[in-house]
Amino acid sequence: MAETVEERVKRATIEAMKAHESERTTTLRMISSALKNKAIEKRAKSAEPLTEAEEQQVLAGMIKQRRDSIEQFTKGNRPELAAKEAAEIGLIEAFLPQAMGAEDLRRLVEAAVAEVAVASGQKPGPKEMGLVMKSVQAKLAAGGLRAEGRIVSEAVKTALA
């Protein structure tokens, strides 16, 4: 069985602690804590462990929070804090599947648009953006791929324009 994200984070935390890398250890502990909180939240509803998709969702949420923080720190003229958040993003992304490239995402969006066009019998317009987004997200999940929601949304808007 493949190693879970939580197991990989634990192993990386131990390595960082042995190497006396305090910043890395702190970030890895944050990741571990977020995963544990999600598992506790899920256990209140069912006894099943987190799925890989749920683990990835937690990490993607952490990345989004840090991107928002970077934006705020940049506006507040605090480049040192923005740099710290950017370093954390890099560490968190190491536990996620490789982000999808722009060209691959464009092809995936075109395939989803064609799929919706076949289903409805006409080329979808901006009103069908929700249907296309749902199709793209399903294709991403099925392929174990990752793309930021904002980027997917922009690609879909471009394709439907």
- pLDDT per position as a tens digit, 104-131: 888 888 888 888 887 777 777 777 788 8
Higher-confidence position of 143 and 84: 84
Query: 78-84 — which CB contacts under 8 Å span 24+ positions?
Result: 84/23
Region of 20 (left: φ > 0; alpha: ψ -120 to 50; beta: rest) is left
Show the tokens assigned to 55: 């683990």
DSSP 8-state symbol, 128:
G
User: For residue 4, is pLDDT > 60?
Assistant: yes
pLDDT of residue 134: 85
Q: What's residue 127's pLDDT? A: 78
3-state class (DSSP) for residue 118? helix
Tens of pLDDT, residues 59-113:
989 999 999 999 999 999 999 999 999 999 999 988 887 777 778 888 888 888 8
Least Cα distance to 105 among 145, 52, 142, 53 occurs for 145
End-to-end CA distance of the chain: give it in Å, rounded.
44
Tokens of 120: 């409805």
Alpha-carbon torsion 139, 142, 143, 148, what sign?
Answer: positive
Listed residue (38, 60, 83) closest to 150, CA to CA: 60
The contacts of residue 28 (CB under 8 Å, 6+ apart) are 9, 12, 13, 16, 91
Q: State pLDDT tens for residues 16-56.
A: 999 999 999 999 999 999 999 998 888 877 778 888 878 88
pLDDT at 161: 77
- Cα 150 from Cα 148, distance rounded (Å): 6
